[in-house]
Amino acid sequence: MTPVSSAYQASLRLAVAPMMDWTDTHCRVFHRVLAPHARLYTEMVHANAVVLGDRARLLGFDPVEHPVALQLGGSEPQVLAQAARIGADWGYDEINLNCGCPSDRVQAGRFGACLMKEPALVADCVAAMAAAADVPVTVKCRLGVDDEHDYDRFRAFIDTVAAAGCRTFVVHARNAWLQGLSPKENREVPPLRYEWAWRLKRERPDLQVTVNGGIASLEQAQAQLQHTDGVMLGRAAYHDPYLLHRLDVALYGGTLRGRGELLRALRPYVEAQLARGVALKHIVRHVLGLFHGRPGGRAFRQILSEGAHRAGAGWALVEQALQATEAGPVAASG
Ligand SMILES: Cc1cc2nc3c(=O)[nH]c(=O)nc-3n(C[C@H](O)[C@H](O)[C@H](O)COP(=O)(O)O)c2cc1C
């Protein structure tokens, strides 16, 4: 493996979670403006799709996204190895294996969270991926599946996979229930047990442990970082993206920029995409939460979500939405 960049090393402290349908390239470019140092993740892509599918569509990303990790789904070592090599050649800084997704579709394909039950297979996958790709191969997992609550078993999973060449684990600190819960419920119902991630870090100090699940404020993130190497935020980062900016400044330094200034920094990207024929709605759907809880936040969201669907919608609409947040207190109260 070639040595990792200092930017990648620094990004181990803060990450935005892989989220299907959400963390596409437009979303990641926006998050990069907000959080210059964070590690960004793609949506999960199945290894077969990477090997056989339209790579430009599945893997294409903007250079500003670095450091960016490609998350793969799958459970066939050789296919995952091919996909990992393709991802590394494509320029991804990290290849991550999904061992946490509980959906039925994923279970039918024997990947995602059900892999927690097959540590030896995950180890084979990781070993094959690490041999094929010259970037770090990491794993995102849960604490266990169903009603299995056994820390030693969780640590044995980690140890088996670490021995195969994985040094960084993202731990979504709850179980996945493979029966009876939707993926959404599986992100809410099984209780969070951060102590397991903390204990793992204490007992395996050489591993990089990133904790994920339910972290929704600067204070919570900072508290987690007393015990782990990194935090990964998913829903909170998406719905309240300014939190990402505050986190980046708190963890890495720099000056807080205003929401409007940050969004305007995205203008060259938006205009370049529009010129390529990308519709505005595909980009601005990710920025709707920027003024979450702020005066004019509802109007901002409404102007963008209604107007971006219209033919010919362009940057002027974004300015119009921003004006709703910059108006005086009376006009902005909606
Ligand atoms: C819409 C959505 C899609 C998701 N897709 C993925 C995915 O593709 N791969 C993955 O490992 N986790 C996925 N997750 C789970 C998140 O990465 C994360 O583990 C989970 O939301 C808990 O973190 P949070 O409480 O900070 O949101 C998804 C979550 C959401 C909300």
Q: Which residue owns the Cα nearest ligand 1 atom 13?
A: 19
What separation in Å is there between the alpha carbon of 20 and the centre of ligand 1? 7
pLDDT over 50 (residue 81): yes
Q: Which of 219, 252, 285 is the last residue of a domain?
A: 252
Q: What pLDDT is recorded for position 332?
A: 41
Residue 286 and residue 157 share a domain? no
Q: Is-contact 58 24, C-beta < 8 A?
A: no
How buried is 227 (Cβ within 10 angstroms: 0-12 exposed, 13-18 middle, 19+ buried)? middle
Neighbours of 179 (CB within 10 A): 9
Residue 215 and residue 177 share a domain? yes
pLDDT over 70 (residue 333): no
For a substitution probing ligand 1, which of 27, 106, 141, 187 has the most ligand atoms within 8 Å of its CB? 187
Residue 270 and residue 216 share a domain? no
pLDDT over 50 (residue 146): yes
CA gap 220, 174 in Å, rounded: 17
Q: How confident is the model at residue 331 (pLDDT cuts 50, 70, 90)?
A: very low
Residue 242 and residue 184 share a domain? yes
In a domain, 30, yes or no: yes
What separation in Å is there between the alpha carbon of 316 and the centre of ligand 1? 33
| Mean of the per-residue pLDDT values of the chain | 95
Domain of 27, in residue numbers:
6-252
Which atom of ligand 1 lies closest to the CA of 215?
26
Q: How confident is the model at residue 221 (pLDDT cuts 50, 70, 90)?
A: very high
Q: Which of 230, 252, 274 is the last residue of a domain?
A: 252
Residue 197 and residue 86 share a domain? yes
Look at the chain and report how many structural domains it folds into. Answer: 2
Task: Express each pLDDT in 165-209 by its tens digit.
Answer: 999 999 999 999 988 888 999 999 999 999 999 999 999 999 999
CA gap 43, 88 in Å, rounded: 16
In a domain, 317, yes or no: yes
Residue 324 and residue 237 share a domain? no
Residues 6 or more apart in contact with residue 117 via CB below 8 angstroms = 145
What separation in Å is there between the alpha carbon of 43 and the centre of ligand 1? 9
In a domain, 1, yes or no: no
Q: Which residue owns the Cα nearest ligand 1 atom 2?
A: 19
- Which phi and psi (to 5°) does residue 244 adopt? -60, -40
Residue 323 and residue 175 share a domain? no
**Which residues are documented as binding site?**
18-20, 71, 140, 172, 212-214, 234-235
What separation in Å is there between the alpha carbon of 104 and the centre of ligand 1? 15
Residue 175 and residue 88 share a domain? yes
Catalytic residues: 101
Task: Express each pLDDT in 260-299 by its tens digit.
Answer: 999 999 999 999 999 999 999 999 999 999 999 999 999 9
| Token pair for 333 | 């109260």
Q: What pLDDT is recorded for position 258?
A: 98
Residue 56 and residue 136 share a domain? yes
What separation in Å is there between the alpha carbon of 332 and the centre of ligand 1? 33
3-state secondary structure the chain: CCCCCHHHHHHHHEEECCCCCCCCHHHHHHHHHHCCCCEEEEEEEEHHHHHHCCHHHHHCCCHHHCCEEEEEECCCHHHHHHHHHHHHHHCCCEEEEEECCCCHHHHHCCCHHHHHHCHHHHHHHHHHHHHHCCCCEEEEECCCECCCCCHHHHHHHHHHHHHCCCCEEEEECCCECCCCCCCCHHHCCCCCCHHHHHHHHHHCCCCEEEEECCCCCHHHHHHHCCCCCEEEECHHHHHCCHHHHHHHHHHHCCCCCCHHHHHHCCHHHHHHHHHCCCCHHHHHCCCCCCCCCCCCHHHHHHHHHHHCCCCCCCHHHHHHHHHHHHCCCCHHHC
Q: Which residue owns the Cα nearest ligand 1 atom 23?
A: 213
Q: What pLDDT is recorded for position 139?
A: 98
CA gap 121, 124 in Å, rounded: 5
Q: Which residue owns the Cα nearest ligand 1 atom 19?
A: 172
Distance of CA 129 to the CA centre of its chain: 20
Q: Please state the rounded mean pLDDT for residues 17-31.
A: 98
Residue 298 and residue 244 share a domain? no
Q: What pLDDT is recorded for position 109?
A: 73
Q: Which of 252, 286, 303 is the last residue of a domain?
A: 252
Residue 266 and residue 244 share a domain? no
Ligand 1 surroundings by CB, under 6 angstroms: 17-22, 43-44, 71, 98, 100-101, 140, 172, 187, 212-215, 233-236
Which atom of ligand 1 lies closest to the CA of 233?
26
**Which residues are documented as binding site for FMN?**
18-20, 71, 140, 172, 212-214, 234-235
Q: Which residue owns the Cα nearest ligand 1 atom 14?
A: 19
Long-range pairs of 151-156 with CB within 8 A, sequence gap ≥ 24: 151/196, 151/199, 154/196, 154/200, 155/200, 155/203, 155/204, 156/119
Q: What pLDDT is recorded for position 329?
A: 57
In a domain, 46, yes or no: yes
Residue 318 and residue 200 share a domain? no
CA gap 301, 278 in Å, rounded: 20
